[in-house]
Amino acid sequence: MLLVQISDIHVGSQFQPKVFAQVVNEVNKLKPDIIVITGDLTNEGLIKEYKECKKLVSQLKAKKIITISGNHDYRNTGYLAFKKFFPFESVNNLSKDVVLVTVGTARPDRNEGEVGYRQNLW
């Protein structure tokens, strides 16, 4: 199983289309089974950024793409849109022997993250 991890796409004012095109090209050449995008898909958490990001992420080719929100995705109530555009599960059974557990630590309008009370109980 080949798993590729990328992060910090920052669709919006900081987005770099040429760099992202190179990433897509390199990742797709690898033909990964799983791609995990670990946060900051958007720059400001705006609906228009999520719409564009959804199109861009669809260029990545894998059997499964797992997304985790970052602090930039949570800005401007973007945490509400993230689940709509990138539904996710915290526990991902990747194969008979491999489970990927993701823990989102982003918090609305804060740069630092934290593991919350309910996450600690889990």
Q: Over the stretch 37-91, which tens digit does the pLDDT of each residue have?
A: 998 999 999 999 999 999 999 999 999 999 988 888 888 877 788 889 988 777 7
Total-model pTM: 0.85
Beta strands in 39-109, from DSSP E residues, in sequence order: 64-68, 91-93, 99-101
pLDDT at 115 exceeding the cut of 80: no
- 10 Å CB burial of residue 99 (0-12, 13-18, 19+) is exposed
- The correct CATH number of 3-121 out of 3.30.479.30, 3.60.21.10, 3.40.50.300, 3.90.1330.10 is 3.60.21.10
Distances in Å between the alpha carbon of 33 and those of 1, 30, 44, 49?
A: 6, 9, 30, 26
Do 58 and 92 form a contact (C-beta atoms < 8 A)?
no
Band (120; pLDDT cuts 50, 70, 90):
low
Give the pLDDT score at 16: 94
CB atoms within 10 A of CB 86: 20
Query: 120: closest CA among 107, 105, 110?
Result: 105
